[in-house]
Chain A
Amino acid sequence: MGPFEGGALEDGVLDGNAIGGMLMSLFGTDMTAARGVCGHCGTVGQVAELAVYQSDLGTVVRCRTCDGVLMVFVEVRGVTCVDMEGLASLA
């Protein structure tokens, strides 16, 4: 899947490259070139192309096709809590 099969992203929305460092810390390897399968609609997308919403509260990663939440990262007192329930697979 490429960059534009889903809806266009608005300014302020980033892509999966922006969380490459955090993912590398969590998984011990580069994940931006990994493929994720959306657990909501089944779309296959490269992590680098996913929609990333960052705020002071944490990071939400959404599917470009159905807008479903794929991953949520929240850092609490130096510990990163990870919710990947929206992903059917990541490899």
Chain B
Amino acid sequence: MAGHRAGQHLDIRLTADDGYRAERSYSIASAPGEPLAITVERLEDGEVSPYLTRELRPGDKMEVRGPIGGYFVWEPAMGGPLLLAAGGSGIVPLRAILRYRANLGSQVPVRLLYSSRSWPDVIYRDELSRPEAGVAVIQTLTRSHPDDWTGYTRRVDAAMLAEVAWPAADGALAYVCGPTSFVESVAAGLVGLGYPAGRVRTERFGATGQ
């Protein structure tokens, strides 16, 4: 498989013994130059993620297409500062961007705003608690939170974006990934703060926890 870019995804297709096929897209979690890795959030009523997280064994074969995408990608030449906004497993392609930045020794300043339902739903908890220099991680837990939680406790809204996002005058580049409703509200909020639409890149997906 060819090398990938930070932000890209793979399509995985499973075919059952009776010929029934199911296909899903999974964002690549590793940085360019690292072995290919995806992160799969198990949805208990899902068709594909329970198989990938419970049944799949080393040596099993599956159909994989990719890497895919030339729009929701970040390259160092694109600069920053970067505003990364994730809802639920929308963190995965943004994690690839963060790792890529770290591996390159890039000094591009980053603010990551990450929305999850609850603390156990937060993906990459340990990693995000020790961010690289120049990376600020701001989290919100929308359904429940630990007693000693000091982050936000509501869905991302215009007021939160105004506090967290780089001022529009900084010319930041924004990457927003998550469920459609999350992406719509964040993207509209950033445009409301004065971000040009062309500086906001978005990727929407289906069911997840945000």
Interface residues of A (CB under 8 A from B): 1-5, 8-18, 20-22, 24-25, 30, 32-33, 46-49
Contact of A3 among B25, B68, B187 (CB under 8 A): B187
Q: Cβ of B205: which chain A residues have Cβ within 8 Å of it?
A: 14, 18
Q: Cβ of B9: which chain A residues have Cβ within 8 Å of it?
A: 17, 20-21
Q: Once the chains bind, are A3 and B69 in contact (CB under 8 Å)?
A: no
Q: Once the chains bind, are B72 and A48 in contact (CB under 8 Å)?
A: yes
Count of CB-CB pairs between chains A and B under 8 Å = 87
Give Cα A19 to B68, complex, Å.
Answer: 9
Closest 6 CB pairs of A and B: A2-B197, A30-B70, A48-B71, A21-B11, A33-B70, A32-B71
A-B contact pairs, 10 of them (CB 8 A): A8-B188, A9-B204, A11-B181, A20-B25, A20-B69, A21-B65, A24-B68, A32-B70, A32-B72, A49-B202
For the complex, is B58 an interface residue (Cβ under 8 Å from A)? no
Q: Once the chains bind, are A11 and B180 in contact (CB under 8 Å)?
A: yes
Given contacts A2-B200, A4-B191, A12-B206, contact A17 B180 (CB under 8 A): no
Q: Once the chains bind, are B180 and A3 in contact (CB under 8 Å)?
A: no
Q: Cβ of A22: which chain B residues have Cβ within 8 Å of it?
A: 11
